[in-house]
Amino acid sequence: MEQELLLYHGADRPFKTLKANQLTRSPSRSFLEVFWRKRGPIYLTPSLSFALFFGSKKWWGKNMISIKKGIVYFSSFNPEKDVYIHVVDISNIPKEKLVWINERELAVHLKEITPVRVETHKAGEISRYLEIVKDRKEFLLRRNE
């Protein structure tokens, strides 16, 4: 029996299944590409803070994260907003369907995945892992230092 390999997918609503044709919030895809072409892989991450970021941000506006600097910026943020963390076991997914984009982002090339469970968090929980910088210019300065 293989050991579970659990990764996360953050969203602003719960899903019974994650589907490849759902809009994604991947940083490696531009807004227009996501908006006009819904197809693509399902993105997962081993980082709870990264999943919380994507579940907490709004579709519009400027939202930025720097894991290396431990900071995050939201143009609009509600710490009481519900965020849904979909926990996915990838141990039974064929290896050829998994492509690591970077150390925090795994693209899964399947039509759908059923999460092991869906956890409800508050957006404000991201402050346990990352500092929320309220000023965009300050975020950019700190990110680039």
Question: 6-62+82-128 has which fold?
Answer: ADP-ribosylation fold (3.20.170)
At 2 the pLDDT is 53
The three-class DSSP label of residue 85 is strand
Domain ranges of the chain: 6-62+82-128
What global pTM score does this model have? 0.83
At 1 the pLDDT is 47
Give me the torsion for CA of 114, 96, 103, 144, rounded to 10°: -100
Could you read off the pLDDT tens digit of each residue along the chain, which spans 145 residues? 456 699 999 999 999 999 986 654 445 555 555 554 555 789 999 999 999 999 998 766 688 889 889 999 998 899 999 999 999 999 999 999 999 999 999 999 999 999 999 999 999 999 999 999 999 999 999 999 8
